[in-house]
Amino acid sequence: MSDPLQLQLDTVFRNASRQVFASLARALRDLDLAEDAMQESFAAATIQWPHEGIPENPVAWLVTAGRRKAVDVIRRREKLKEISSEVAQRLHQVAQTNASRAATEIEDDRLRLIFTCCHPAIDLKVQVPLTLREVCGLTTEEIARAFLTTPATMAQRIVRGKAKIRDARIPFVIPSITELPERLDAVLTVIYLIFNEGYSASSGDSITRADLSGEAIRLCRLVLELLEDAEVMGLLALMLLHESRRETRQTDEGDIVLLEDQDRSRWDRSLIDEGRRLVERSLASRRFGFYTIQAAISAVHAEAPTAKATDWNQIVALYDILLRIESSAVIELNRAVAVAMWDGPAAGLQLIEVILDRGDLLDYSLAHAARGELLRRAGRHADAIEALETALSLTGQSTEQRFLAKKLQKLKSS
């Protein structure tokens, strides 16, 4: 295969593989079979596309090829002469789908798969990891890191979830309006985690993955069309406000640029304006919660012409509200940083020490990085170096490692 064609195929796989998987999962109602079929469809593309050219709609081509491959997979698994009536019926359904499925229907399949993975019949501890694995294609190791557990434990949860979908025959459909509320919290949690992985990647050479954050925003828009809920608005607003800063978060060389050092003239004002309108709508409903308050904090940052002009007092007050909604050591840490910006580094340091002394966030690199920065600002350079070295040892993100290493080098040479 020529290099340009290989690059195009790689791009299709990177951008559309989970969409292809979601469509196959809905058609086949078997996640493992859908994974096999997706891999085989891409293998077929590497053989056929160099001769036939890349189709006008690559995703539709791959989905159709995957369904055909699934029939072959099922036939290989089951001797055709001994095939059970259930498998025979599935073969018939897949064949019918191949003939009638329209490419335009593929668009919402990832949302259907999210609702399937977040079905009430599936253990709450399993829903989110299962969705991150099957819908977003995150590795078991990446998910385990996000949940602070071992890959082996996480793999067991994911296997249990897939088995539950298969054995309970959970439908691959978007639930009715009456069923949506009980599924909404899990779905929003999943979308939020997808965005976070895209906005601050847990590993790799870049701090961002635009494909994941863009998909999270798209999915949240679809959910808002289904249910005009205040927290759906809040989550969408939060993601849009963060996304508005994407282009300023790294230098051309890939180094991290802190919020206070970003070129605010390059922030995407259209995303900020849309996010602010959504925040206002959500707050006006008086039914807002966790996501809306976070979005309101982001809106305060977006409104400030400079970091120095930020209304840190208002941000601290919003964090106080957020902590009443959901007690979290990470939220406490963010509040401590805001307090430091308002009352000085000593005040923020005192709050961070309380968090770490009680045993929270000891393995969280950003907690030690924040402490190190406040120690530096307080003039305690030796303590700052120790804290930043701890942060460096805890992060697996290469851009964060470079950022911390440069900060340490500068501190040690001062």
Looking from the CA of 7 toward its CB, the CA atoms found within 13 Å total 3
Cα 323 to Cα 180, 192, 342, 349: the distances in Å are: 26, 18, 18, 19
Q: What is the pLDDT of residues 90-100, one digit of tens each?
A: 545 544 444 44
The answer as to whether 328 is a domain residue is yes
Mean pLDDT of the chain: 84
Structure tokens at 154: 């996480």
218, part of any domain: no
How confident is the model at residue 32, as a pLDDT? 81
In a domain? residue 356: yes
Q: Which helix (H) or strand (E) holds 141?
A: helix 140-146
What is the per-residue pLDDT for 239?
97
Domain residue limits at 87: 1-101
pLDDT tens digits along 23-45:
887 777 778 888 888 888 888 88
Are 27 and 140 in contact, with CB atoms under 8 Å apart? no
| Whether the Cβ atoms of residue 46 and residue 61 lie closer than 8 Å to each other | no
- CATH number of the domain that residue 27 is part of: 1.10.1740
Residue 347 maps to a domain = yes
| Cα 190 to Cα 219: distance, rounded to the nearest angstrom | 10
Neighbours of 158 (CB within 10 A): 20
Give per-residue burial for 130-148: e unless 16+ CB within 10 Å, then b.
bbbbbbbebebebbbbbee
Confidence at residue 105, expressed as pLDDT on a 0 to 100 scale: 46
What pLDDT digit, counting tens, does each position of 120-162 carry?
888 878 888 888 888 778 888 878 877 778 889 999 999 999 9
What is residue 98's predicted lDDT score, i.e. its pLDDT?
43
Number of domains into which the chain is organized: 2
Asked, for residue 158, whether it belongs to a domain, the answer is no
Residue 397 in 3-state DSSP? strand
Within a domain: residue 155? no
Q: What is the CATH number of the domain that holds 407?
A: 1.25.40.10
Relative orientation angle of helices 365-377 and 398-413, to the nearest 10 degrees: 20
Domain termination residue (choose one: 101, 121, 149)? 101
Instruction: Assess if residue 229 is contained within a domain.
Output: no
The rounded distance, in Å, linking the Cα atoms of 269 and 214 is: 17
Q: Tokens representing 203?
A: 């590993």
pLDDT of residue 91: 46
Domain boundary among 72, 101, 130: 101
- At residue 142, the pLDDT reads 79
End-of-domain residue from the set 71, 101, 131: 101
CA 299 – CA 238 distance, rounded (Å): 8
Decide: pTM greater than 0.85: no
Using CA of residue 394, residue 341, residue 198, residue 183, what is the dihedral sign? positive
What is the tens place of the pLDDT at every residue in 250-270?
888 888 899 999 999 999 999
Give the pLDDT of residue 201: 58
Give the chain's residues under pLDDT 70.
1-3, 5, 73-107, 201-208
Which pLDDT value is given to residue 93? 53
DSSP-assigned beta bridge partners for residue 204:
397
Q: Residue 333: what pLDDT? A: 97
Distance CA 345, CA 352 (A): 10
- State the Cα–Cα distance between residues 405 and 391, nearest whole angstrom: 10
Residue 140 lies in a domain: no
